Amino acid sequence: MHNPEELFNAASIICDDGIDHETIRSSVTKILKAVGEDPEREGLLNTPNRVAKSYEELLAGYRIDPYKLINGAMFDVDYDEMVIVRDIEFYSLCEHHMLPFIGRAHVAYIPDKKVIGLSKIPRIVDMFARRLQVQERLTSQVACFLDEVLHPHGVAVVIEALHLCSMMRGVKKHDSRMTTSSMLGYFRKNLATRTEFLDNISRSAEPLHF
């Protein structure tokens, strides 16, 4: 098992006292005034506080302890075939407009004598998703973290998502979706391995929708 410092570095964790609620509350009040609203009216009176609390949840991934997240759930198993966890739903915030993007992740790895507990893979996805993100980096971070933790023969991650920043504003294309992938080890080197993974995640797949 890795020591905590190695995992913190692999997870790009922020080590501080947490989100500054007061600064967020003050900033939201200024935004409300800037757009012409009255922060003192009934419906908006507690909005700055609600927003501060929601950011603490939406951006919790910066401060999750990856050592506690894994919690020793790595096991010696004589198995060297593909392990796939598919259709992991997630939400994140686009770092460009701070609007949500929502989708699902498909994660696979080929063990080299070690496997990780099933529930840990969705938790790892959430750890990186609950940050200000771009989908490309999110995909790479999940793959690289699993590779660092397990040292498997290979890791594959495919993420598909709907981005509100291109649905609600700008180009306003509500049916467009984005797909990104990261292939490491056998998945990058071996076409048959990569094809097996992609065939598995495409089987019985349904289109993303809200």
| Domain spans, the chain | 15-58, 73-202
What is the pLDDT at residue 63?
Answer: 93
Average pLDDT estimate for 181-198: 97
Rounded CA-CA distance 143/65 in Å is 18
User: Of 17-21, 62-66, 169-173, 189-193, where does mean pLDDT reach its minimum?
Assistant: 169-173
CA distances from 132 to 21, 24, 205 (A): 17, 15, 28
Q: Is 95 a catalytic residue?
A: yes
Average pLDDT estimate for 148-172: 93
Residue 1: is its pLDDT beyond 60? no
DSSP-derived letter for residue 61 is: G
Rounded CA-CA distance 193/176 in Å is 28
The class that CATH gives domain 15-58 is: mainly alpha
- The domains spanning 15-58 and 73-202 adopt the same CATH topology: no
Residue 84: is its pLDDT beyond 60? yes
Given 96, 136, 151, 174, which residue is catalytic? 96
Rounded CA-CA distance 80/114 in Å is 9
Both tokens assigned to 64: 């999750």
How many CB atoms within 10 Å of residue 197?
A: 26
The arrangement of secondary structure in 73-202, i.e. its CATH architecture, is: 2-Layer Sandwich (3.30)
Residue 7: is its pLDDT beyond 90? no
- pTM, two decimals, is 0.93
pLDDT tens for each residue of 52-83: 999 999 999 999 999 999 999 999 999 999 99
Q: Is 2 a catalytic residue?
A: no
Given 133, 135, 141, 160, which residue is catalytic? 135
Q: Is 163 a catalytic residue?
A: yes
